[in-house]
Structure 1
């Protein structure tokens, strides 16, 4: 196995090994790869637990402190806005800063501000409480952007031919964090109060810092000459970015609205509200590795996953309420079923987006390596954050104005639009390639016909 500082020929499974070692350990992770997976899994698990424990009880606590639903949505949404800004910066300068340093520093700051979030209930209500919520969320957003941008870039460098499979498998840990966060957070909140869930999780995150310092490899690469602007102006990448926006907006919409809707409509205690979120998180965690494997083994399926995943998601949001025009009675079992289906459709759509952007970048002259991986990682996180900012912010506002049923339906229209746009692009792309192939064949036949008399 090569040293961590010599990444030019790393051994990796699934066809990434050099020819001389291809037959030795093709089905096993090298020590370096295993360490990278452990580091990435730790940040996925902890960050999603922190993200999801807010849902069951923070909106109600914020209401007690004088925050309206619109302000609560903005508190959720500002996190994504600053992840967007920070991801663009970190993606551009990751090679200069150093992937390992960026990852470890991001995890350290994230653990510290998670602990700080746990003491916000001691802050006076009103404007001071709201301002402190924003400050802590912004700090955590920047630290998360640093850690996740570095993590995905390192993963792409370590597993160049199995990107979707590895990312899909690691989404199991993201889903596990989403699964564990709401019920554990709700239980700790009911048993010990507001502070304990955040302080406990923050300490766990801080404990992963020395572990990552010891095991994470230190990759080096030359800075890229390409920019985010060149990447995002590629038509296919721009449409995939729109798909990412719509999916993250749909998921972010649920953060400030779903718990309030369930509490008001079905009168469930906070601990049981966390179990409602379980349907979405568990189905996403289970389905993501499968879609990642299929995306790597059969790349031609990615376009179908992107299109139909969005269309299914749109249908789910129409039925979450359900939208009043359908004249379907709102029932808890239907809500949970739609969350389960939405988890599967999200995995279907989200997982293929990263390898699709990466392959499109390579096809358009971007060099293979850590620099391009960092650009794509930063772009992915930024585009995800655009939707994750709009989803909670607009969701909280619409919830106040027109109620959950219509707000969810409007959110579903975004997924429907992106799915149809992506499908139209792929049909147009197929049509152009087919015409090009026919013209090429006709040109070959004409050349043969023109040359035939001379040959005779």
Structure 2
């Protein structure tokens, strides 16, 4: 059930990356939001479904729709940032990722807290309402220039995924994102149940623990990363980030091989902080690295290249979540 979201996320990211310039990036974004709201409302109503077979079918359907919505929102968002701020992509993506981290921080805490003290359906309805409140502000802020399609004004050849992935730096950046998501997501189905079974954490406390790396991610992205990238290339930053992620895996365990205390919540918390910092160092430079890898090429298809890189970035992340 959980992997079904990632499967639909990957497929939708691939398709949207190819057609978003024709459909319109803003329309894709708004459509993704409305589909996401619909799926969340649907999950809220699941509490009144008593038939087991129907419950399972609807659960998979809504989960697939959530993946579709997430892909539409993510591909559109990253593409628009790359198009609107071509000279300052990394810092803007850092802010975008900070917002993403804030959502990952607030979501588990808010959802766990509301669920613990109210009812199953309340978190879904509450988040749906918050989503809809944001739409008018986005419609006012996002201008029609974000929907431009460079190829409608010239005879430039189409830029496909495979053509871009022939560039080794682009391919490595995609693989980088794949491994990022494996490390970032692999601990959730293991770590969460362990906190509940061994340490008797409540749903709210588990959500709070998962919020720890998100806080570090928010700090590491827009605050620390710009300072580091002034002296080091994105590739160097990503390599350092991978070493940080490797270290955090031993600490979160905690590793018996290294003699870390098995029952130390403090040790686990430190590992989660390091996880957030490492993720910031490896994820945020990916799209800027892709754009830098093809600098001077595809000059007549810049918006299409941004769309494709956004698709590759999100597809790679989705594959990592599946694995």
Common fold: TM-score over 0.5: yes
Q: Which residue of 2 is the match for residue 25 of structure 1?
A: none
Is 1:357 the counterpart of 2:290? The answer is yes
Is 1:194 the counterpart of 2:126? The answer is no
Q: Which residue of 1 is the match for residue 208 of structure 2?
A: 275
Q: Which residue of 2 is the match for residue 44 of structure 1?
A: none
CA 1:126–1:232: 2 relative to 1, 3 Å = farther
Could you report, residue by residue, the CA deviation over 1:322-362 in whole angstroms, capped at 9, with x for unpaired residues?
24433433211111110001100110111111100111123
Could you report, residue by residue, the CA deviation over 1:242-270 in whole angstroms, capped at 9, with x for unpaired residues?
11111111112233332211111211122
Once residues 306 and 194 of structure 2 are traced to their aligned partners in structure 1, the CA distance between those partners, rounded to angstroms, is: 40
Q: Which residue of 1 is the match for residue 154 of structure 2?
A: none
Q: Which residue of 2 is the match for residue 314 of structure 1?
A: 246
Once residues 76 and 252 of structure 1 are traced to their aligned partners in structure 2, the CA distance between those partners, rounded to angstroms, is: 11
Q: How many residues in Structure 1 have an aligned counterpart in Structure 2?
A: 315
Deviation at 1:317, TM superposition (A): 1.1
TM-score scaled by length of structure 1:
0.65
Q: Which residue of 2 is the match for residue 37 of structure 1?
A: none
Could you report, residue by residue, the CA deviation over 1:256-310 in whole angstroms, capped at 9, with x for unpaired residues?
3322111112111222112211211100011101355247645x43122111111
Q: Which residue of 1 is the match for residue 67 of structure 2?
A: 141
Once residues 291 and 191 of structure 1 are traced to their aligned partners in structure 2, the CA distance between those partners, rounded to angstroms, is: 37
8 A Cα contact 1:171 1:285, kept in partner = yes
Deviation at 1:117, TM superposition (A): 1.6
Deviation at 1:83, TM superposition (A): 1.2
Q: Which residue of 1 is the match for residue 149 of structure 2?
A: 221
Once residues 228 and 181 of structure 1 are traced to their aligned partners in structure 2, the CA distance between those partners, rounded to angstroms, is: 33
The correspondence for 1:184, drawn from 110, 123, 130, is 110
The correspondence for 2:58, drawn from 109, 132, 138, is 132
8 A Cα contact 2:159 2:301, kept in partner = no
Q: Which runs of 5+ in 1 are unaligned?
A: 1-74, 391-456
SS of the aligned residue for 1:106 comes to: helix
Once residues 155 and 193 of structure 1 are traced to their aligned partners in structure 2, the CA distance between those partners, rounded to angstroms, is: 37
Once residues 215 and 194 of structure 2 are traced to their aligned partners in structure 1, the CA distance between those partners, rounded to angstroms, is: 21
Larger Rg: 1
8 A Cα contact 1:322 1:329, kept in partner = yes
Post-superposition, which runs of at least 4 consecutive aligned residues in structure 1 deviate over 3 A? 124-128, 294-298, 323-327, 363-368
SS of the aligned residue for 1:256 comes to: helix
8 A Cα contact 2:4 2:63, kept in partner = yes
Once residues 300 and 230 of structure 2 are traced to their aligned partners in structure 1, the CA distance between those partners, rounded to angstroms, is: 23
Once residues 113 and 168 of structure 1 are traced to their aligned partners in structure 2, the CA distance between those partners, rounded to angstroms, is: 28
The correspondence for 2:218, drawn from 285, 290, 301, is 285
Deviation at 1:388, TM superposition (A): 1.2
Q: Which residue of 2 is the match for residue 156 of structure 1?
A: 82
Could you report, residue by residue, the CA deviation over 1:398-446 in whole angstroms, capped at 9, with x for unpaired residues?
xxxxxxxxxxxxxxxxxxxxxxxxxxxxxxxxxxxxxxxxxxxxxxxxx
Q: Tell me the C-alpha RMSD between the 2 structures.
A: 1.9
The correspondence for 1:236, drawn from 143, 162, 169, is 169
Once residues 279 and 198 of structure 2 are traced to their aligned partners in structure 1, the CA distance between those partners, rounded to angstroms, is: 25
- 1 or 2 for the larger relative contact order (CA 8 Å, sep ≥6)? 2
Q: Which residue of 1 is the match for residue 198 of structure 2?
A: 265
